[in-house]
Amino acid sequence: MKQIKTRTHHILLLAVLILTLNSFGQVYTAQIEKIDSLFTPWNKTNQPGGTVLISQNGETVYSKAYGLASLEYNVPNTLNTRFNIGSLSKQFTAMGIVVLEEQNKLSFDDDIRKYIPELAPYDKTITIRHLLHHTSGIRDLHGLLGLAGWRPADLETNEDVYRVFKNQKDLNFNPGDELSYSNTGYIFLARIIEKISGMTFEQWMKQNIFDPLAMKNTYVEIQHDRIVSNNATSYYLRDDFKRAIEYWGYFGAGNMYSTVEDLNIWLQNFSTPQKEWTSAFNTLLTRTPLNNGFESPFGFGVRIQDYKGKKVIQHGGSVGGYRAIARVFPEEQLHIVILSNYSKSSIGSKTNKISDILLSKSKSHPKESTEQKPKIPEFVELPKSKLKKFEGVYWSDSEKSGRKIYMKNDTLRYSSSAKNEWALVPTDERSFIMMHPTIQPVVTFDTNAHQMTIKTGDNLPGVFTFLQKDLDTTTKDLDLFIGHYYSPELKTIYSIFREGDEMYIEHARHGKMKLEQLYNTIFSTGGPVGIVEMKQDNNERVLGLTMSNGRTRNVWFKRVEL
């Protein structure tokens, strides 16, 4: 009996090996070995890892699970292990909107207040299309809740977002003017789906997206403390592994769980879509130019880019210790999915290396370019008096960073920090080439608008406004800024005070944070506050301040007496 069992076991192993070799038939053995070697760090004992699936022309050519789903209970990851896919969720939320549009239940150009009337009225119309493309100007929830008092591990839910954003009257920028990634926008899209359907977002997505596509192991998590089998636990890796506290209670922008096999089903539709899904997946690739005509890389929940001359559709995800990436080369019908449950898993670089390995066999000799080489600009000489007119500090309201322009050794210089300085060589009376070793952007000054623009290749220009003539932080009376500041949008107070020669800003939940003076009226600090810009009237009386931290800009705090 034992011999029969052993023989049966060997036959099963042989069958699995034959199937594996057949599935790998399109990829050279050497390439498989190279791919496998990328995940050697995940093969260590007693550490998290992840899962990988690569398919081409509809066949799986590589799939493997590494490491532990749970360090506490020594449970290994498998191909059926579910991971939180973070912002990969956004393309599924976008698909929900696309399906409703195909059913004539909404228009991409509808004002979002048609479906979420409880939002405070903005000065400009924000459309569903703006939310899909991250061009709405709506502040991102993480930065805004941080300013309101949320700490990094505090639970963030959709209800928190709806409540706080009812009071938001200001935007980062006018809708359509810029691109700024906004989780808030996708949380609002989930709200719109619920309002139109009368169902919970979880139920609607299951019935209309996941079940029809046979993604049986994918779901939306709307209860942050629910226990679900086969879910990996996520970990941070610093000096050693630590549990990531699960603060991510919001959905629409994230908080979907899936497997590499389910995500591969999804990705196939970007290359060879199922007939009934063809138009919907094509619609996800819609790109709408910004108001100035610049074409953003964002479609609806996905990025459409070029990777070494080949079209690629992709997106990544990151929340807690979870990391996720899904990449499609539609013309090669190549699909790569990597999911991980620890923070330093380096899945981005691994995906690039896998792409290089698999695309190398299809490389062809490049044709000689018929395009004309860019014309080398002719440089001119300008007198020192004209060059000195451009000196000063220039400030970018979108980047919340400054640049210094000054004369040194008879040459105009550009500095982004104490360690970075490059010469500016004039091509005419107001345009210069920055002598950067790699990119050499064009720097142009507009003295009438008091602005400097920096243009690199086909990228959107960076605009910096003249801030001050002196290069140093010369505001002497810092006591002018001492006081209490209240945000009517966030209903919270910060206080600025002095201890010796140092300035501090304090909040009830964040404690005190040291303020570093960057320029005359601009300061920076750590924590959730970021950049603090003091606002004064013509008599230098302080009216209030604004705070900005990444994707949240210019939140107004009025000076008040307590």
Q: Which amino acid is at 477?
A: D
In the chain, the domains with their CATH numbers are 86-137+172-320 (3.40.710.10), 384-468 (2.40.128), 478-560 (2.40.128.50)
What end-to-end distance do the CA atoms of the chain give, in Å? 87
The span from the CA of 168 to the CA of 323, in Å, is 31
pLDDT tens digits, 304-318? 999 999 999 999 999
143 exposed, middle or buried (CB, 10 Å; 0-12, 13-18, 19+)? buried
- Other beta carbons within 10 Å of 547: 26
- pLDDT score, position 27: 62
- pLDDT score, position 392: 95
Specify the higher pLDDT residue, 292 or 18. Answer: 292
- pLDDT score, position 474: 66
- The answer to whether 61 and 36 have CB atoms below 8 angstroms apart is no
- pLDDT score, position 362: 53
The whole-model pTM stands at 0.91
**DSSP alpha helices (H): ranges in 49-157?**
89-102, 128-133, 141-148
Q: pLDDT class for 503, splitting at 50, 70, 90?
A: very high
Q: pLDDT class for 484, splitting at 50, 70, 90?
A: very high
Q: pLDDT class for 123, splitting at 50, 70, 90?
A: confident
Return mean pLDDT, the chain.
91
Here the tokens at position 189 are 């899209």
Phi then psi dihedrals of residue 451, to 5 deg: -135, 155
Q: Is the confidence at residue 368, as pLDDT, over 60?
A: no
The span from the CA of 512 to the CA of 495, in Å, is 9
Q: What percent of the chain has pLDDT over 70?
A: 92
DSSP secondary structure letters along 333-378 = TEEEEEEESBTT--HHHHHHHHHHHHHGGG--PPPPP-SPPPPPPP
